[in-house]
Amino acid sequence: MKDLIIIGSGPAGLTAGIYAERAKMDTIVIERNYMSGGQIIDTYEVDNYPGLPGINGFDLAQKMREHADKLGVNFVNAEVKRVEDLGDVKRIYTDKEVYEAKAVLFTSGAGHSKLGIPGEDTYGGKGVSYCATCDGAFYRGKDVAVIGGGNVAVEDAIFLARGSRKVYVVHRRDELRAIKSLQEQLFAMDNIEMVWDSVATEIVGNDGKTSGVRVHNKKTGTDKVLPVDGVFVAVGIVPNTELFKGICAMDDRGYIIAGEDGKTNTPGFFVAGDARTKQVRQVATAVGDGASVVSSIDRYLTTGEW
């Protein structure tokens, strides 16, 4: 039986793995698809992580993983199917093996929200994408649309505008929610067209691929189709906490309720990173979570107190 099983290998999971290894805990980190980094691998440029300004998200994830590998952190490539609380023993069922540990740290973060409109699933991977840095290269010289108005949406639009012919940014309000520095970059680009006060209502296509997105203007009540080859959806995130339902208390949005110590309401179960209830979800805060939660885990393993 392991001391600790960490589920997820984003910034929080990688940091926790490093700290747990240094604390001499018998630990495994379970990740899917041999891919560490979580959401940051989808980020073209990380400009707010101290010491590494402007680093590519994938490169930052690789550096974190290399650090963990150098220290001997034990990674297991598997998909977790079920989590079971047996009191002092926590059992993790994966698609390959069953693991047991005294404590479990959940760091699987959050995923992309969907629009929930007709055509979105039909044209998923055929023009509809949730990752501009992953798929943007397919749309060089073409017209695309970005749906959303927050930091991620604006970052995606800036990235796409460097290669695409034209980028529509569709936002439901008349001003963006993104930070001012990103807005300044966006508005300085001459191939960006803002579609204000509008919501996407349908992805349309021809011959099995996306040909446009229908939008509805909430102020005028009019509809139109933007002729685009790609639609990039950036309307927020949803926590990947399905595995812990029935085990740990969650808020009404599905985030696991825990404080800075990462302790949930169930002894032996901890959470760190974007899946936790918190105000700010950034790489730096995820790393901080991963570091601080290991102290709580060590105390629990040593004393048994919750």
Which position among 134, 174, 223, 251 bears the catalytic label?
134
How far is CA 78 from each of CA 92, 292, 294, rounded to the nearest angstrom?
11, 26, 22
Confirm whether 251 is a catalytic residue.
no
Pairing outcome for strands 223-226 and 89-94: unpaired
Which position among 26, 131, 197, 261 bears the catalytic label?
131
Which position among 135, 143, 156, 289 bears the catalytic label?
135
Confirm whether 135 is a catalytic residue.
yes
Provide the β-strand partners of residue 23. none
Asked if 242 and 158 touch (Cβ cutoff 8 Å), the reply is: no
Name the nearest CA neighbour of 292 among 277, 272, 278, 265.
272
3-state secondary structure the chain: CEEEEEECCCHHHHHHHHHHHHCCCCEEEEECCCCCCHHHHHCCCECCCCCCCCECHHHHHHHHHHHHHHHCCCEEECCEEEEEEECCEEEEEECCCEEEEEEEEECCCEEECCCCCCCCCCCECCCEECCHHHHHHHHCCCEEEEECCCHHHHHHHHHHHCCCCEEEEECCCCCCCCCHHHHHHHHCCCCEEEECCEEEEEEEEECCEEEEEEEEECCCCCEEEECCCEEEECCCEEECCHHHCCCCCECCCCCECCCCCCECCCCCEEECHHHECCCCCCHHHHHHHHHHHHHHHHHHHHHCCC
Confirm whether 248 is a catalytic residue.
no
Show which residues are catalytic. 131, 134-135
